[in-house]
Structure 1
């Protein structure tokens, strides 16, 4: 037995992204502990959290609203990745890998939201 959202590929990928962001943020300097590290972790976790929360709602408009929150959280993660790259906390390769994953997930999430009826 499992919840409906656990079968969603976007939720599964969002869960994976949250764990990857956790590992990545561990390489940030201590001075970012309450700033960029905290922000990227909260935004990364918020993606899957909002997908699951929205999926249990009875109305399509409400689910779409929560998908919007998830998409905006993913945009936050992307911006944090840019900040981390500019501050030389992550390599170009790390940035490219995570950026590509986020780009693909963003497209999947937007397509999914557009199909909610």
Structure 2
């Protein structure tokens, strides 16, 4: 049986967790433009997964999954910058980067499963 709601998608749940962790990590950061950019990008990951899922076609869902990957890459890039700017320690950032990498792999896997569904003749 397929997934009926985006809330049941594990990678959406993990993206939400990452966003909460990003908010917590930067809550006291006084560089408001940096904080705004990284928090908005982190929220965009789960939002794109949700929006794509509710588009109801595999091609639309895949398109939004690629947007989610791009937002995830933006978060990861900013985390590396946060280390260099001393906004986070290497240890703090590494944990978030690992989570981001896991999310990227999961989204890529979801895209592959949608590609395979098309090859098997599943409705797209």
TM-score (normalised: structure 1): 0.91
Superposition TM-score, scaled by structure 2 size: 0.86
Flag structure 2 segments of 5+ consecutive residues without an equivalent. Answer: 118-124
1:59 alignment partner in structure 2? 57
Regions of 4+ moved over 2 Å: none
Higher relative contact order (CA 8 A, sep 6+): 1
The residue number in structure 2 matching 1:95 is 93
Work out which of the two has the higher radius of gyration on C-alpha atoms and give 1 or 2: 2
For 2:106, which of 105, 108, 117 is the aligned residue? 108
Tell me the CA shift for residue 27 of structure 1. Answer: 3.5
Instruction: Please give the per-residue CA displacement for 1:56-87, whole angstroms capped at 9, x wherever unaligned.
Output: 11211110000000000000000110111000
Q: Which residue of 1 aligns with 2:8?
A: 7
RMSD between superposed Cα atoms in Å: 1.0
Give the aligned length: 112
Question: Do 1:71 and 1:106's aligned partners in 2 also have CA atoms closer than 8 Å?
Answer: yes
Q: What's 2:18 paired with?
A: 17
